[in-house]
Amino acid sequence: MRIVMLVTLLWLSGCVSENQGGNFSAEFDQNEAAKTRISLGLTYLKNGNYTQAKMNLDKALSFAPRLADSHYGLAYYYQVVGEVERAREAYETAMSLAPRNADIANSYGAFLCQQGDYEEAKTFFLQAVNSKQYANSAATYENMALCAQSQGQGEDAIEYLNSALKHQPGRAKTLFILTEMYVATEQYDLAEQTLRKYEKVARVSPDSLWMAIEIATGKGDILTANGYGDMLLTMYPDSPLTKLYIDRQQKLPQPVIKVKTKPQQIVKPDTVSVADLQASTESNSEATTPAAENTVTKAEPENSLPAVATESETTSQAMATDESVKFHIVQPKENLYRLSLKYNIKLDTLKAWNNLDNNGSIKIGTKLWLVPPAEQTQ
């Protein structure tokens, strides 16, 4: 009996991968165990359980300290919790252990872009896309475009987005961002072509209809813009963009339309009958208008858009913003087009108020005025 128990204990000890001293058995695959811990850690991180995430990622590092993914996982954890220096150190260690790992290079580039290190970020992005076995070049080029856009490099952003589409022509997100960039730079024909491609791979949405309205308006095709406006009102009545569209329509200048009235018939007194008199009175009451003006004001339909903003329009748009908010500090991944929607101010107006070039390029940390120059105070 004792022999059986001893054999059983020896067999169990052979299955134990790690003892209290931290030594591993020959059967224990440290790299595979580390990868399992990394996967668990990132799952916990995604679900917001930072304690369990850190514990598993630390365990992975203890299992495989020379595995690049162990440092990569910790780098992402530190990036999420905002420990910038630790994140940078972990990324650098990961890259030193796996200098040809395109996924790590792409993530490190995105991290550096968040810190405003555009040139250094571009170096790692290009390192990723130049890797022969890298399958996510489209995503990396898109990251490069967003990074360039956040640093005010509008032309670079458009170039990178087109490069992304060469690798993945049907990438919906890239097509939509490129459409936005073309609208922001008033390249409406290219914007229209790109939006048509987007519509082939994505469903109609409030955002795509708004883009269509902006493009048609920019091209001066008010009838088409009205049609897309009707679609927005019908299909997405509760969308914030629908509310923005209605607000814009209500602020449009209302034209005065002259309406011709029928001339009153003059009848000789000696030929007037009671029936004629009654008919004359009824017809006069039906056409009651201010006699001196002989015009009426007719409101434009809600689904019409102006081709060019007027001075009164831009003034009313400025009033639509919170009066206490006179400027905006540009944050990562923001662009002028999105800010124009947020504050309900036309792109051209924002460019004029901030002396921006036609590309509408803005950089992270830029102070963007939301009021006319006369109201701008330091």
Amino acid 8: pLDDT = 42
Q: Minimum mean pLDDT among 91-95, 127-131, 275-279: which range?
A: 275-279
Q: What is the pTM of this model?
A: 0.62
Of residues 258 and 132, more confidently modeled: 132
Amino acid 91: pLDDT = 96
Residue 181: which pLDDT band, with cuts at 50, 70 and 90?
very high
Average pLDDT over residues 108-129: 92
CB within 8 Å of 72: residues ≥ 6 apart: 90, 91, 94, 101, 103, 104, 107
Amino acid 324: pLDDT = 61
Average pLDDT over residues 296-318: 35
What number of CA atoms fall less than 13 Å from residue 209's CA on the CB side? 22
Query: What share of the chain in percent tops pLDDT 90?
Result: 51
Q: How far apart are CA 70 and CA 35, in angstroms?
A: 8
Q: Which residue has the tokens 């990438």?
A: 171
Q: Minimum mean pLDDT among 76-90, 187-201, 265-279: which range?
A: 265-279
Query: What share of the chain in percent tops pLDDT 70?
Result: 72
Nearest residue to 160 (alpha-carbon basis) of 147, 173, 150: 147
Amino acid 87: pLDDT = 95
Query: pLDDT, tens digit, for every residue of 327-372?
Result: 888 877 677 777 776 777 877 788 888 888 766 677 777 778 888 8
Average pLDDT over residues 234-256: 83
Q: In the predicted model, what is the mean pLDDT of the chain?
A: 78
Average pLDDT over residues 148-166: 91
Q: What is the DSSP letter of 365?
A: T
Residue 342 token pair: 């947020």
Q: DSSP states of 159-187 as a string? A: HHHHHHHHH-TT-HHHHHHHHHHHHHTT-
Average pLDDT over residues 110-122: 91
Amino acid 265: pLDDT = 53
Is residue 264 left, alpha or beta, with left meaning phi > 0 and alpha meaning psi from -120 to 50?
Answer: beta
Q: Is the pLDDT of residue 310 over 50?
A: no
Average pLDDT over residues 277-301: 38
The segment with the largest mean pLDDT, out of 114-128, 274-288, 348-362, is 114-128
Of residues 283 and 186, more confidently modeled: 186
